[in-house]
Amino acid sequence: MPRAVYVLALGIFAMVTSEFVVAGLMPQMADGLNATIPQIGYLITAFAVAMAAGGPFLTVAVMKFPPRTALMVLFAIFLAGNVLAATATGYAMMMAARIITGIASQAFFGVGISMCAQITRPEVRGRAIAVAMNGLMLGTLLGLPMSTLVGEHFGWRAAFWTITLITVVAALATLVGVPRLERAESGGGLRQEVGVFRKPRLWLALSTSTLIIGATFSAFSYFNPILTEITGFSAGTVPALLIAYGAATVVGNNIVGRFADRHTAPVLAAGLVLNTLFLAGFALLADLPVPAVVCMMGIGLVGVTMNPAMTTRVQRTGNAGPLVNTVHSSFITLGIILGSSLGAAMIDAWGLRAPLWLGAAMAVVGLLTVLPDLTHRPTPQTAPVIAGTGAPAKQAEQV
Protein backbone atom coordinates (compact mmCIF):
# COMPACT_ATOMS: atom_id res chain seq x y z
CA MET A 1 0.00 0.00 0.00
CA PRO A 2 1.48 3.43 -0.89
CA ARG A 3 2.56 5.34 2.20
CA ALA A 4 0.58 8.33 0.92
CA VAL A 5 -2.63 6.46 1.80
CA TYR A 6 -1.54 6.26 5.45
CA VAL A 7 -0.63 9.95 5.38
CA LEU A 8 -4.12 10.77 4.08
CA ALA A 9 -5.54 8.72 6.97
CA LEU A 10 -3.66 10.99 9.39
CA GLY A 11 -5.24 14.06 7.81
CA ILE A 12 -8.70 12.50 8.04
CA PHE A 13 -7.99 11.64 11.70
CA ALA A 14 -7.31 15.32 12.43
CA MET A 15 -10.54 16.38 10.70
CA VAL A 16 -12.70 13.80 12.48
CA THR A 17 -11.18 14.58 15.88
CA SER A 18 -12.11 18.22 15.35
CA GLU A 19 -15.62 17.22 14.33
CA PHE A 20 -16.18 15.24 17.54
CA VAL A 21 -14.33 17.42 20.05
CA VAL A 22 -17.34 19.52 21.02
CA ALA A 23 -19.40 16.46 21.98
CA GLY A 24 -16.92 15.53 24.71
CA LEU A 25 -16.51 19.03 26.17
CA MET A 26 -20.00 20.51 26.16
CA PRO A 27 -20.18 21.59 29.85
CA GLN A 28 -16.71 23.18 29.82
CA MET A 29 -17.36 25.02 26.55
CA ALA A 30 -20.74 26.22 27.78
CA ASP A 31 -19.07 27.75 30.84
CA GLY A 32 -16.19 29.22 28.85
CA LEU A 33 -18.36 30.78 26.15
CA ASN A 34 -21.19 31.86 28.47
CA ALA A 35 -23.60 29.67 26.52
CA THR A 36 -26.15 26.98 27.27
CA ILE A 37 -25.70 23.27 26.62
CA PRO A 38 -28.25 23.36 23.75
CA GLN A 39 -26.34 26.26 22.18
CA ILE A 40 -23.13 24.21 22.31
CA GLY A 41 -25.08 21.37 20.73
CA TYR A 42 -25.84 23.65 17.80
CA LEU A 43 -22.09 23.87 17.18
CA ILE A 44 -22.16 20.16 16.33
CA THR A 45 -25.11 20.68 14.02
CA ALA A 46 -23.43 23.67 12.36
CA PHE A 47 -20.29 21.62 11.66
CA ALA A 48 -22.36 18.87 10.01
CA VAL A 49 -24.48 21.29 7.95
CA ALA A 50 -21.35 23.18 6.85
CA MET A 51 -19.82 19.88 5.73
CA ALA A 52 -22.87 18.83 3.74
CA ALA A 53 -23.71 22.22 2.19
CA GLY A 54 -20.36 23.98 1.89
CA GLY A 55 -17.87 21.20 1.21
CA PRO A 56 -18.73 20.68 -2.49
CA PHE A 57 -18.36 24.41 -3.25
CA LEU A 58 -14.92 24.57 -1.66
CA THR A 59 -13.96 21.43 -3.58
CA VAL A 60 -14.85 23.13 -6.85
CA ALA A 61 -12.71 26.13 -5.80
CA VAL A 62 -9.59 24.02 -5.15
CA MET A 63 -9.97 21.80 -8.22
CA LYS A 64 -7.86 24.29 -10.17
CA PHE A 65 -4.84 23.18 -8.13
CA PRO A 66 -2.86 19.93 -8.39
CA PRO A 67 -4.18 17.45 -5.78
CA ARG A 68 -1.38 17.83 -3.22
CA THR A 69 -1.56 21.62 -3.45
CA ALA A 70 -5.32 21.42 -2.98
CA LEU A 71 -4.78 19.36 0.18
CA MET A 72 -2.35 21.96 1.53
CA VAL A 73 -4.83 24.77 0.85
CA LEU A 74 -7.50 22.81 2.72
CA PHE A 75 -5.11 22.15 5.60
CA ALA A 76 -4.46 25.90 5.82
CA ILE A 77 -8.20 26.74 5.94
CA PHE A 78 -8.86 23.99 8.46
CA LEU A 79 -5.91 25.13 10.58
CA ALA A 80 -7.20 28.71 10.56
CA GLY A 81 -10.59 27.48 11.74
CA ASN A 82 -9.08 25.51 14.62
CA VAL A 83 -6.94 28.44 15.73
CA LEU A 84 -10.05 30.62 15.63
CA ALA A 85 -11.84 28.04 17.80
CA ALA A 86 -8.97 27.85 20.30
CA THR A 87 -8.92 31.63 20.68
CA ALA A 88 -12.68 32.23 20.48
CA THR A 89 -13.81 34.95 22.86
CA GLY A 90 -17.51 34.38 22.35
CA TYR A 91 -20.15 32.05 20.96
CA ALA A 92 -20.43 33.79 17.58
CA MET A 93 -16.69 33.47 17.01
CA MET A 94 -16.82 29.78 17.88
CA MET A 95 -19.76 29.26 15.52
CA ALA A 96 -17.77 30.85 12.69
CA ALA A 97 -14.82 28.59 13.50
CA ARG A 98 -16.98 25.46 13.37
CA ILE A 99 -18.45 26.46 10.00
CA ILE A 100 -14.98 27.06 8.54
CA THR A 101 -13.57 23.77 9.80
CA GLY A 102 -16.68 21.86 8.70
CA ILE A 103 -16.46 23.11 5.11
CA ALA A 104 -12.70 22.44 4.91
CA SER A 105 -13.10 18.99 6.44
CA GLN A 106 -15.65 17.86 3.86
CA ALA A 107 -13.58 19.14 0.95
CA PHE A 108 -10.52 17.37 2.37
CA PHE A 109 -12.43 14.08 2.41
CA GLY A 110 -13.38 14.50 -1.24
CA VAL A 111 -9.91 15.45 -2.49
CA GLY A 112 -8.19 12.87 -0.28
CA ILE A 113 -10.36 9.93 -1.33
CA SER A 114 -10.04 10.97 -4.96
CA MET A 115 -6.26 10.93 -4.53
CA CYS A 116 -6.46 7.38 -3.14
CA ALA A 117 -8.00 6.39 -6.47
CA GLN A 118 -5.17 8.05 -8.39
CA ILE A 119 -2.26 6.45 -6.56
CA THR A 120 -3.45 2.84 -6.28
CA ARG A 121 -4.24 0.04 -8.70
CA PRO A 122 -7.94 -0.44 -9.50
CA GLU A 123 -8.15 -3.92 -8.02
CA VAL A 124 -7.02 -2.76 -4.56
CA ARG A 125 -8.72 0.61 -4.50
CA GLY A 126 -11.29 -0.51 -1.92
CA ARG A 127 -8.49 -1.60 0.42
CA ALA A 128 -6.78 1.77 -0.02
CA ILE A 129 -10.00 3.59 0.83
CA ALA A 130 -10.37 1.37 3.91
CA VAL A 131 -6.86 2.34 5.07
CA ALA A 132 -7.60 6.03 4.56
CA MET A 133 -10.95 5.63 6.31
CA ASN A 134 -9.16 4.17 9.32
CA GLY A 135 -8.55 7.84 10.09
CA LEU A 136 -12.32 8.17 10.51
CA MET A 137 -12.59 5.06 12.68
CA LEU A 138 -9.61 6.01 14.83
CA GLY A 139 -11.01 9.50 15.21
CA THR A 140 -13.99 7.89 16.90
CA LEU A 141 -11.94 5.35 18.86
CA LEU A 142 -9.01 7.55 19.94
CA GLY A 143 -9.57 11.14 18.82
CA LEU A 144 -12.72 11.79 20.85
CA PRO A 145 -11.46 10.35 24.17
CA MET A 146 -8.05 12.00 23.66
CA SER A 147 -9.51 15.46 23.07
CA THR A 148 -11.96 14.98 25.94
CA LEU A 149 -9.13 13.96 28.29
CA VAL A 150 -7.00 16.95 27.28
CA GLY A 151 -9.97 19.29 27.65
CA GLU A 152 -10.89 17.98 31.09
CA HIS A 153 -7.34 18.35 32.45
CA PHE A 154 -6.09 21.47 30.66
CA GLY A 155 -9.23 23.27 29.51
CA TRP A 156 -11.29 23.06 26.34
CA ARG A 157 -9.01 25.47 24.49
CA ALA A 158 -6.12 23.06 24.97
CA ALA A 159 -8.13 20.40 23.11
CA PHE A 160 -8.40 22.67 20.06
CA TRP A 161 -4.69 23.53 20.28
CA THR A 162 -3.94 19.79 20.35
CA ILE A 163 -5.98 19.31 17.18
CA THR A 164 -4.11 22.23 15.66
CA LEU A 165 -0.81 20.49 16.41
CA ILE A 166 -2.06 17.23 14.87
CA THR A 167 -3.13 19.20 11.80
CA VAL A 168 0.33 20.74 11.41
CA VAL A 169 1.94 17.30 11.71
CA ALA A 170 -0.49 15.88 9.12
CA ALA A 171 0.20 18.79 6.73
CA LEU A 172 3.98 18.33 7.00
CA ALA A 173 3.58 14.58 6.48
CA THR A 174 1.52 15.32 3.38
CA LEU A 175 4.26 17.51 1.96
CA VAL A 176 6.80 14.73 2.47
CA GLY A 177 4.78 11.58 1.93
CA VAL A 178 2.18 12.39 -0.76
CA PRO A 179 3.35 12.41 -4.40
CA ARG A 180 2.98 15.49 -6.51
CA LEU A 181 0.41 14.75 -9.21
CA GLU A 182 -0.48 17.05 -12.04
CA ARG A 183 -3.97 18.42 -12.41
CA ALA A 184 -5.73 16.89 -15.41
CA GLU A 185 -6.32 19.41 -18.19
CA SER A 186 -8.26 17.42 -20.78
CA GLY A 187 -11.68 15.84 -21.01
CA GLY A 188 -13.90 18.58 -19.73
CA GLY A 189 -12.71 19.11 -16.17
CA LEU A 190 -15.49 20.53 -14.01
CA ARG A 191 -18.09 19.98 -16.74
CA GLN A 192 -17.32 16.27 -16.75
CA GLU A 193 -17.49 16.08 -12.95
CA VAL A 194 -20.86 17.82 -12.90
CA GLY A 195 -22.12 15.83 -15.88
CA VAL A 196 -21.99 12.49 -14.08
CA PHE A 197 -24.75 13.68 -11.75
CA ARG A 198 -27.17 13.16 -14.62
CA LYS A 199 -26.89 9.41 -14.01
CA PRO A 200 -29.86 8.02 -12.03
CA ARG A 201 -27.73 5.11 -10.78
CA LEU A 202 -25.34 7.56 -9.15
CA TRP A 203 -28.17 9.13 -7.17
CA LEU A 204 -29.27 5.63 -6.17
CA ALA A 205 -25.76 4.87 -4.91
CA LEU A 206 -25.64 8.17 -3.01
CA SER A 207 -29.00 7.46 -1.39
CA THR A 208 -27.74 4.05 -0.26
CA SER A 209 -24.87 5.72 1.58
CA THR A 210 -27.26 8.15 3.27
CA LEU A 211 -29.47 5.29 4.44
CA ILE A 212 -26.59 3.14 5.68
CA ILE A 213 -25.10 5.95 7.76
CA GLY A 214 -28.52 7.22 8.84
CA ALA A 215 -29.46 3.74 10.09
CA THR A 216 -26.25 3.50 12.07
CA PHE A 217 -26.33 6.98 13.58
CA SER A 218 -29.97 6.74 14.56
CA ALA A 219 -28.67 4.15 17.04
CA PHE A 220 -25.14 5.44 17.75
CA SER A 221 -26.35 8.90 18.69
CA TYR A 222 -28.36 7.43 21.58
CA PHE A 223 -26.19 4.55 22.77
CA ASN A 224 -25.43 6.35 26.04
CA PRO A 225 -29.02 6.84 27.27
CA ILE A 226 -30.13 3.45 25.92
CA LEU A 227 -27.32 1.61 27.71
CA THR A 228 -27.84 3.45 31.00
CA GLU A 229 -31.61 3.87 31.17
CA ILE A 230 -32.77 0.63 29.51
CA THR A 231 -29.89 -1.85 29.70
CA GLY A 232 -28.88 -0.72 33.18
CA PHE A 233 -25.16 -0.06 32.77
CA SER A 234 -23.59 2.57 34.99
CA ALA A 235 -22.48 5.86 33.44
CA GLY A 236 -18.86 4.93 34.14
CA THR A 237 -19.16 1.70 32.11
CA VAL A 238 -20.49 3.33 28.94
CA PRO A 239 -17.16 4.91 27.82
CA ALA A 240 -15.51 1.48 27.89
CA LEU A 241 -18.37 0.06 25.82
CA LEU A 242 -18.04 2.91 23.31
CA ILE A 243 -14.31 2.25 23.01
CA ALA A 244 -15.12 -1.40 22.29
CA TYR A 245 -17.63 -0.22 19.69
CA GLY A 246 -14.92 1.95 18.13
CA ALA A 247 -12.55 -1.01 18.00
CA ALA A 248 -15.26 -3.03 16.23
CA THR A 249 -15.53 -0.30 13.57
CA VAL A 250 -11.78 -0.48 12.90
CA VAL A 251 -11.96 -4.28 12.49
CA GLY A 252 -15.07 -4.11 10.32
CA ASN A 253 -13.63 -1.33 8.14
CA ASN A 254 -10.58 -3.40 7.28
CA ILE A 255 -12.62 -6.54 6.60
CA VAL A 256 -14.96 -4.64 4.26
CA GLY A 257 -11.95 -3.08 2.54
CA ARG A 258 -10.68 -6.55 1.64
CA PHE A 259 -13.86 -7.45 -0.25
CA ALA A 260 -15.12 -4.06 -1.43
CA ASP A 261 -13.35 -4.18 -4.82
CA ARG A 262 -14.55 -7.54 -6.11
CA HIS A 263 -17.85 -7.92 -4.27
CA THR A 264 -19.10 -4.37 -3.82
CA ALA A 265 -22.87 -4.90 -4.05
CA PRO A 266 -22.93 -8.22 -2.13
CA VAL A 267 -20.88 -6.64 0.67
CA LEU A 268 -23.31 -3.74 0.91
CA ALA A 269 -26.32 -6.07 0.83
CA ALA A 270 -24.86 -8.37 3.49
CA GLY A 271 -23.96 -5.40 5.67
CA LEU A 272 -27.46 -3.97 5.45
CA VAL A 273 -29.11 -7.31 6.24
CA LEU A 274 -26.85 -7.83 9.26
CA ASN A 275 -27.32 -4.24 10.43
CA THR A 276 -31.10 -4.67 10.21
CA LEU A 277 -30.85 -7.76 12.40
CA PHE A 278 -28.52 -6.13 14.92
CA LEU A 279 -30.62 -2.97 15.17
CA ALA A 280 -33.88 -4.88 15.55
CA GLY A 281 -32.21 -7.26 18.01
CA PHE A 282 -30.95 -4.34 20.06
CA ALA A 283 -34.46 -2.84 20.11
CA LEU A 284 -35.99 -6.12 21.28
CA LEU A 285 -33.26 -7.10 23.76
CA ALA A 286 -32.04 -3.71 25.03
CA ASP A 287 -32.94 -4.63 28.62
CA LEU A 288 -30.62 -7.67 28.60
CA PRO A 289 -26.93 -6.63 29.04
CA VAL A 290 -25.17 -9.40 27.10
CA PRO A 291 -27.44 -9.45 24.01
CA ALA A 292 -27.52 -5.64 24.02
CA VAL A 293 -23.72 -5.41 23.93
CA VAL A 294 -23.50 -8.10 21.24
CA CYS A 295 -25.96 -6.19 19.06
CA MET A 296 -24.15 -2.90 19.69
CA MET A 297 -20.83 -4.46 18.64
CA GLY A 298 -22.53 -5.94 15.59
CA ILE A 299 -23.70 -2.47 14.56
CA GLY A 300 -20.08 -1.35 14.90
CA LEU A 301 -18.90 -4.16 12.61
CA VAL A 302 -21.39 -3.57 9.78
CA GLY A 303 -22.48 0.09 10.05
CA VAL A 304 -20.10 2.92 9.19
CA THR A 305 -17.64 0.23 8.15
CA MET A 306 -19.46 -0.03 4.82
CA ASN A 307 -17.59 3.15 3.78
CA PRO A 308 -15.05 1.41 1.48
CA ALA A 309 -17.81 -0.44 -0.39
CA MET A 310 -20.02 2.65 -0.50
CA THR A 311 -17.19 4.75 -1.94
CA THR A 312 -16.16 2.09 -4.44
CA ARG A 313 -19.74 1.87 -5.71
CA VAL A 314 -20.08 5.64 -6.05
CA GLN A 315 -16.75 5.93 -7.87
CA ARG A 316 -17.64 3.19 -10.34
CA THR A 317 -21.10 4.61 -10.96
CA GLY A 318 -19.88 8.21 -11.32
CA ASN A 319 -16.14 8.78 -11.30
CA ALA A 320 -13.32 9.03 -8.79
CA GLY A 321 -12.97 12.81 -9.07
CA PRO A 322 -12.90 15.10 -6.03
CA LEU A 323 -16.35 16.64 -6.60
CA VAL A 324 -18.11 13.27 -6.75
CA ASN A 325 -16.30 12.14 -3.60
CA THR A 326 -17.14 15.36 -1.77
CA VAL A 327 -20.81 15.16 -2.72
CA HIS A 328 -20.76 11.55 -1.55
CA SER A 329 -19.38 12.72 1.79
CA SER A 330 -22.19 15.27 1.92
CA PHE A 331 -24.76 12.50 1.48
CA ILE A 332 -23.04 10.58 4.27
CA THR A 333 -23.25 13.65 6.49
CA LEU A 334 -26.92 13.99 5.53
CA GLY A 335 -27.38 10.47 6.88
CA ILE A 336 -25.87 11.52 10.20
CA ILE A 337 -28.17 14.53 10.39
CA LEU A 338 -31.29 12.55 9.47
CA GLY A 339 -30.53 9.59 11.71
CA SER A 340 -29.80 11.67 14.79
CA SER A 341 -32.58 14.25 14.32
CA LEU A 342 -35.34 11.77 13.39
CA GLY A 343 -34.20 9.55 16.23
CA ALA A 344 -34.59 12.44 18.67
CA ALA A 345 -38.11 13.14 17.42
CA MET A 346 -39.06 9.47 17.77
CA ILE A 347 -37.73 9.30 21.33
CA ASP A 348 -40.13 12.08 22.30
CA ALA A 349 -43.02 10.11 20.85
CA TRP A 350 -42.18 6.45 21.50
CA GLY A 351 -39.23 6.20 23.88
CA LEU A 352 -35.56 5.24 23.72
CA ARG A 353 -36.01 2.05 21.70
CA ALA A 354 -37.57 4.02 18.82
CA PRO A 355 -34.28 5.15 17.19
CA LEU A 356 -33.21 1.50 16.97
CA TRP A 357 -36.40 0.61 15.10
CA LEU A 358 -35.87 3.67 12.90
CA GLY A 359 -32.37 2.43 12.09
CA ALA A 360 -33.68 -1.01 11.18
CA ALA A 361 -36.28 0.54 8.86
CA MET A 362 -33.66 2.74 7.16
CA ALA A 363 -31.42 -0.29 6.66
CA VAL A 364 -34.26 -2.18 4.96
CA VAL A 365 -34.90 0.73 2.59
CA GLY A 366 -31.15 0.92 1.98
CA LEU A 367 -31.14 -2.75 0.99
CA LEU A 368 -33.79 -2.04 -1.64
CA THR A 369 -31.50 0.58 -3.22
CA VAL A 370 -28.71 -2.00 -3.55
CA LEU A 371 -30.81 -4.72 -5.18
CA PRO A 372 -30.41 -3.35 -8.77
CA ASP A 373 -26.62 -3.67 -8.46
CA LEU A 374 -26.88 -7.29 -7.35
CA THR A 375 -28.07 -8.19 -10.85
CA HIS A 376 -25.97 -5.59 -12.71
CA ARG A 377 -22.53 -5.24 -11.17
CA PRO A 378 -19.58 -3.27 -12.61
CA THR A 379 -16.53 -5.31 -13.54
CA PRO A 380 -14.19 -5.23 -10.52
CA GLN A 381 -11.10 -4.68 -12.62
CA THR A 382 -12.50 -1.57 -14.32
CA ALA A 383 -10.80 1.56 -13.05
CA PRO A 384 -13.06 4.47 -12.26
CA VAL A 385 -12.34 7.44 -14.44
CA ILE A 386 -10.79 10.48 -12.83
CA ALA A 387 -12.87 13.39 -14.02
CA GLY A 388 -11.07 15.51 -16.53
CA THR A 389 -8.82 12.79 -17.93
CA GLY A 390 -11.24 10.77 -20.02
CA ALA A 391 -9.17 7.71 -19.07
CA PRO A 392 -8.67 5.41 -16.09
CA ALA A 393 -6.92 6.91 -13.11
CA LYS A 394 -3.16 6.90 -13.41
CA GLN A 395 -1.20 4.94 -10.90
CA ALA A 396 1.42 7.21 -9.38
CA GLU A 397 2.53 4.41 -7.08
CA GLN A 398 2.13 0.66 -7.07
CA VAL A 399 0.92 -1.37 -4.14
78-118 pLDDT, tens per residue? 999 999 999 999 999 999 999 999 999 999 988 998 888 78
Q: What is the mean pLDDT of the chain?
A: 87
Q: Where are the domain boundaries for CATH 1.20.1250.20 in the chain? A: 1-183, 188-377+385-391
395 pLDDT more than 60: no
The superfamily in CATH containing domain 1-183 is MFS general substrate transporter like domains (1.20.1250.20)
| Residue 79 pLDDT | 97
> Quick one: fold of 188-377+385-391?
Growth Hormone; Chain: A; (1.20.1250)
pLDDT in tens, 316-365: 998 888 889 889 999 999 998 899 889 888 988 899 999 999 999 999 99
Q: Which of 130-139, 224-233, 268-277, 278-287 has the lowest mean pLDDT?
A: 130-139
User: Can you tell me the mean pLDDT for 138-165?
Assistant: 88
| Residue 183 pLDDT | 60
User: Can you tell me the mean pLDDT for 371-396?
Assistant: 54
pLDDT band for position 42 (50/70/90)?
A: confident
| Residue 274 pLDDT | 98
| Residue 394 pLDDT | 43
pLDDT band for position 189 (50/70/90)?
A: low
pLDDT in tens, 3-18: 889 999 999 999 989 9
pLDDT in tens, 256-307: 999 998 899 999 999 999 999 999 999 999 999 999 999 999 999 999 999 9
Q: Mind spelling out the 3-state secondary structure of the chain? A: CCHHHHHHHHHHHHHHHHHHHHHHCHHHHHHHCCCCHHHHHHHHHHHHHHHHHHHHHHHHHHCCCCHHHHHHHHHHHHHHHHHHHHCCCCHHHHHHHHHHHHHHHHHHHHHHHHHHHHHCCHHHHHHHHHHHHHHHHHHHHHHHHHHHHHHHHHCHHHHHHHHHHHHHHHHHHHHHHCCCCCCCCCCCCHHHHHHHHHCHHHHHHHHHHHHHHHHHHHHHCCHHHHHHHHHCCCCCCHHHHHHHHHHHHHHHHHHHHHHCCCCHHHHHHHHHHHHHHHHHHHHHHCCCHHHHHHHHHHHHHHCHHHHHHHHHHHHHHCCCCHHHHHHHHHHHHHHHHHHHHHHHHHHHHHCCCHHHHHHHHHHHHHHHHHHHHHHCCCCCCCCCECCCCCCECCCCCCC
| Residue 182 pLDDT | 67
191 pLDDT more than 80: no
| Residue 335 pLDDT | 92
pTM: 0.82
| Residue 327 pLDDT | 92
